[in-house]
Structure 1
Amino acid sequence: MRKVLIVSTVSRQFYLFEQGNIEVLNSLGYEVHASANFSDANERLDALGIIRHPFDIQRSPFSLKNIKAYKQLKKIMKSENFDAVHCHSPMGGVLARLAAKSLGITAVIYTAHGFHFYKGAPFVNWVVYYPVEKFLARYTDHLITINKEDLYKANDFKAGQVHYVPGIGVDTNKFDDAVGRREEKRAELRIEEDTVVLLSIGEMIKRKNHETALRAIAKLENQNYVYLICGRGELDSYLQELTLSLGIQEKVRFLGFRNDIKEICIASDVFVFPSYQEGLPVSVMEAMSAGLPIIASEIRGNTDLIENGVGGYLLHPEDIDGFAASIQKVVNNTPLRQAMGTNNKTEVRKYDTSVVKNKMREIYSGL
């Protein structure tokens, strides 16, 4: 049986982003192995049926522990005699490609889930990450990008082949099945049917920029709304204190980590996403699948998904007044909300999981 090794920094990559790839590989007759730092492992990995190979990879490119991790990964590759390696994450991509090259593995795939050198990125990102990715491209048989900005950059690299695959996709059909649950979920959350529900999904970290959204909704004139935020992270306390200082604590609900994102999207009316940096955001695709208009930052990934003024509005991540005005416009105009949502529900079909699986099947079949 042919064997493939998927490499990442953390093991949650496998169940959050690699499930579709694993299914495709299994259907093509591959035995799927996975290497990562499994310190974050949980029971969700068990359902994937992958063979695990832990090693001590670190996320920081400056960690000396990655020297040891490289030797461990090389030993894993040598002992299993893999037919192909598919790597993810910046450090996973570095160590896996170097190890595969040293062992003569000729089928090496790297998926860039969003280059760290992007339009508006800190100068240090360009100094550290750009030359490394450009150099390692020569050790990459298939370089996969998930948005148009990265595709443009990757075409200047010397990889064997450069592909565009629209992220991990989203199962748009599951949102169709959940339509009848809007009233049920609203009742559970104690939200009246005539209340406009604003929604954001994302970790409570600086990159997701929840602060801009909070400061924007504090400026809304129409007060018939509630703002739901799904996610958790290091800025939890800070953001909750910010709602108090802005006087909007009665309008904002921090829901934490949720397993019912699909139903919450269906129960909402507007999606707000002021993130500073993305590859191709799944949460935006989920909101589009639920038929929501999107008020988002004008950044890589978001610009692939949303046409400004058609599926929503795109603004600078720190344009608080712009976010406030755009949210106000769709809150006050139900026909506009519905038109934008209908457009998004159609547009997101291009990013369905079936589309992504077909593209990945073509790449894997050609190894």
Structure 2
Amino acid sequence: MKKILFNITEDWFFCSHFLERALAAKKKGYSIAVISKENNHKKLIENNGISFYPVPYNRKSINPIYEFSILFRIIRLYKKIQPDIVHHVAAKPIIYGSIAAKLNKIKSVLNAPVGLGFVFSSGSIKARILRPILKFLLKKFINSHIGENMRNKVVFENYDDLNYFIEMGAVNPKYGCVIKGAGVKVKKILESKKIRNKPTITLVARMLKDKGVLEFVSAARQLKANKINARFLLVGDIDPYNPSSLEKSTLKKWNDERIINWLGWVNNIEGVLKETDILCLPSYREGLPKALIEGAAFGLPIVTTDTVGCRDVVEDGVNGFLVPIKNIDKLANRLSELIKNKTLREKMGKESHKIALSKFSSSIINSETLKLYDELFFESHF
């Protein structure tokens, strides 16, 4: 049987960004397995007929002894599973998985450096120290293992990242490509939306500084001080394994002060988006944020930053606004413009839906991913 192995740091991220594509591949006759840290999603993965192998990835760890133990565990698992294709997602799986694939003579490797995370987006001392090390390792491993069939692929979520790695000399343009994010289900006809006098502005993300949460809260504070009538929601949990994570006490304090409403983790994100009028993500850097794609699919106007990944979803002045990173005044001004103008919100929301339907629907993303899998499998067997 044709076998694909996903190597990914978090089980929840597999479910949110890759489960649908894995099930599409399963439907086409592929056997699917996942190597990941076990959080709360193992049962969901296994209930979908996918084998799960726990590996205790620690995204904060730089302990060499611990990291070598993870590498050896992955090497043993690759030898046991013997997949036809391995799909590595994010930095550690790419580095460790490429070594394991090389040693086990895996036929085809697909590396996906999604997001690039804290090390590339943060200006902290730790990030600045780690960045050149991670760049060196990615340059060494992202395109070095070309599989027994000599057709390794490197998949990015946006062209900014693809071009960055090509210019860095890490990726051969022949083997680099772009698949725009995780894909979402988009209804062909946009449901009519009630235009509220007191609109709700929502930020959906992990509660990280690098997601622009501080800027969002500061803009909310500024708008409320100016008597702008709106409700501000933060939707998402903290991430203790990310150095950029906010503290729960900080979020609760803002909530108690009624600057924002912090909902924490929400299973039914559709319910939240149905009650949202404007989606906001002032992130410092993204791969291609699923929250923005979901908001576009629901026909929401979007205010986000003019940065990698975010500008792939928003055309400035068409379906939303792009603002400079960390610029609270411009963020507040653009939000205010949409809060006060119902007609503009409705117009931009319709444009968001058109963009989601034409670029980011699950059918498009699943088809592009399956085409890659089939290409890799065919070239390694025939």
Between 33-42 and 348-357, report the one with greater CA deviation: 33-42
Partner in structure 2 of residue 230 of structure 1 = 235
Between 205-214 and 143-152, report the one with greater CA deviation: 205-214
Q: Aligned match of 2:144 in 138, 151, 163?
A: 138
State whether structure 2 residue 186 is matched by structure 1 residue 172.
yes
- CA positional deviation for 1:6: 1.1
Partner in structure 2 of residue 186 of structure 1 = none
- CA positional deviation for 1:139: 1.2
State whether structure 2 residue 346 is matched by structure 1 residue 366.
no
Residue identity in the other structure for 1:135: K
d(CA) in 1 for partners of 2:17, 2:104:
27
Residue identity in the other structure for 1:163: C
- CA positional deviation for 1:86: 1.1
State whether structure 2 residue 95 is matched by structure 1 residue 97.
no
- CA positional deviation for 1:164: 0.5
Which structure 2 residue ranges, 5 or more long, are not aligned? 147-151, 239-245, 377-382
d(CA) in 2 for partners of 1:271, 1:19:
25
State whether structure 2 residue 274 is matched by structure 1 residue 266.
yes
d(CA) in 2 for partners of 1:61, 1:133:
17
Q: Is the 8 A contact 2:228 2:336 kept in 1?
A: no
Residue identity in the other structure for 1:143: V
- CA positional deviation for 1:230: 1.1
For the residue of structure 1 that corresponds to 2:132, the secondary structure is helix
Q: Is the 8 A contact 2:121 2:210 kept in 1?
A: no
Partner in structure 1 of residue 29 of structure 2 = 29
Distance 1:56 1:120, change over 3 A: closer
Provide, for residues 334-362 of structure 1, a one-character-per-residue CA deviation record: whole Å limited to 9, x for no partner. Answer: 11111211111111121111110110111
For the residue of structure 2 that corresponds to 1:45, the secondary structure is helix
Partner in structure 2 of residue 218 of structure 1 = 221
Q: Aligned match of 1:279 in 287, 293, 318?
A: 287
Q: Is the 8 A contact 2:90 2:116 kept in 1?
A: no
- CA positional deviation for 1:62: 1.9
Partner in structure 1 of residue 161 of structure 2 = 150
Distance 1:175 1:133, change over 3 A: farther
d(CA) in 2 for partners of 1:219, 1:259:
30
Identity of aligned residues (%): 21
Cα RMSD (Å): 2.4
Between 139-148 and 53-62, report the one with greater CA deviation: 53-62
Which structure 1 residue ranges, 5 or more long, are not aligned? 184-191
State whether structure 2 residue 5 is matched by structure 1 residue 5.
yes
Residue identity in the other structure for 2:22: I
TM-score, length of structure 2 as denominator length: 0.85
TM-score, length of structure 1 as denominator length: 0.88
d(CA) in 2 for partners of 1:304, 1:352:
14
Residue identity in the other structure for 2:342: T
d(CA) in 2 for partners of 1:226, 1:175:
27
Distance 1:77 1:44, change over 3 A: same
